[in-house]
Amino acid sequence: MGRLIRGLSKNARFFVADTTDVVQDALDIHKYDEYSMKTFGKFCTLSAIMGATLKGEDKLTIRTDTDGYIKNIVVNSNAEGDIKGYLINTSEENFEGLGKGTMRIIKDMGLKEPYVAITNVDYSSLPDDISAYFYNSEQIPTIISLACEDTNDGKILCAGAFMVQLLPGADEDFITKLERKAEAIRPMNELMKGGMSLEQIINLLYDDMDTADNSLVEEYEILEEKELKYNCDCNSDRFQRGIMTLGKEELKHIFEEEKEIEAECQFCGKKYKFTENDFEDILKK
C-alpha cells in the first residue's frame, strides 16, 4: 500500500505521498522497460496527488499525447486513493522521453460534462509543466517534486512526491521563504533514499531556514492520511456492454469466424472471453 498525507497552513496547502508500492504493483502488471516505468510511475504519483483533491465519487484522468518514445499515457484516480493506468510506446526506440505534446486533465464530478484542461508538456521539465498547468488553468502557484527510481534488478526503489500550493492572498513573506526553500530543498527521490518519512518531509518543507532552532515558517495541520493502491475496477459486464456496440451483424460475423471474442483490460491485463451464448438475445432480435 502507498500512503498520502494532505495538510494545510495559513498560507498554503500541501500533499506528500509515498507511491513505491503502487508503482511496483503497476510494474508487476505491465512489465514496462526501465525508462517507461520511471515515467509512468511519476504520472501515477501525480494522479494520486491530484486525486487527493477530489470528493465523493469524483474521478480524475490524466492523458498525454506526445511525439516521443512514449506516445500516450493514461492514468486514472479517485477520492478513495485508487490508481490505475497504462502507456503506449511508439514502434521506434526514440529515447526522447515524452517529447512534446499535450497533457489533458479531465475531472468527472458528476456533471453533464467533465471539466477538461489542456496544457503543453515537454518531459525535459515535467514539474515545470505541471506547475504551469496549475497556474494557468486553476490560478494556483505550485511547487512540486516527483520521484521514481528503480534498483539494479528492476524493482522500484522509491516513488513519491511532495506538492505545496499557495492559498489565495498568501503573505508576501511566506511566498519569499517558499521560493527560497524550493531552490534549497533536495529532490523527492533524494529525500526518500535518505530515509526521511512523509512527516519529516512535511516538517522540512515548513522549516524556517532563517533560524537555527528548528522553528517553522508557520504552523500547519494534517487534514487527512489515506492509503493508496493500484486498483482496477474492470468487470465482465462492462466489457460485454462495450462489445455490444459492434452491432448485430458484426457480432454474427465475428462468431462465425472466431467462435469467441476475447477482450483484455489495458489497465490490469485481465482477460474476458465471450461466446455466442453471451449475446444470444441480441443476435435473435
Closest CA to 11 of 186, 195, 145, 172: 172
* Contact indicator for 27, 42 with CB cutoff of 8 Å: no
- One domain for residues 121 and 242: no
- One domain for residues 126 and 194: yes
Q: Domain containing 189 — which CATH number?
A: 3.55.30.10
**Residue type (1 letter), 33:** D
Three-state DSSP string of 163-187: EEEECCCCCHHHHHHHHHHHHHCCC
* Contact indicator for 159, 19 with CB cutoff of 8 Å: yes
pLDDT beneath 70, residues of the chain: 90-97, 123-124, 281-285
What cell numbers appear for 44 in the block? 501515477
Residue 107 confidence (pLDDT): 93
Structural domain total, the chain = 2
Closest CA to 189 of 158, 150, 154: 158
* Structural domain boundaries, residue 135: 3-230
Q: What is the pLDDT of residues 202-227, one digit of tens each?
A: 999 999 888 878 789 999 999 999 99
- One domain for residues 102 and 16: yes
d(CA 4, CA 44): 13
Q: Domain containing 255 — which CATH number?
A: 3.90.1280.10
* Contact indicator for 161, 189 with CB cutoff of 8 Å: no
- One domain for residues 168 and 248: no
Of the residues 230, 247, 273, which one is the last residue of a structural domain?
Answer: 230
- One domain for residues 163 and 139: yes
- One domain for residues 129 and 113: yes
Of the residues 212, 230, 248, which one is the last residue of a structural domain?
Answer: 230
Rg for the chain (alpha carbons), in Å?
Answer: 22
- One domain for residues 28 and 166: yes
Of the residues 185, 215, 230, which one is the last residue of a structural domain?
Answer: 230
Q: What is the pLDDT of residues 123-161, one digit of tens each?
A: 567 888 888 889 888 899 999 999 999 988 889 999 999
Q: What is the pLDDT of residues 267-280, one digit of tens each?
A: 999 999 888 777 77
- One domain for residues 120 and 78: yes
Closest CA to 88 of 59, 65, 118: 65
- One domain for residues 110 and 224: yes
- One domain for residues 76 and 164: yes
- One domain for residues 265 and 243: yes
Let me know if 173 is exposed, middle or buried by CB neighbors in 10 A (0-12, 13-18, 19+): exposed
- One domain for residues 216 and 252: no
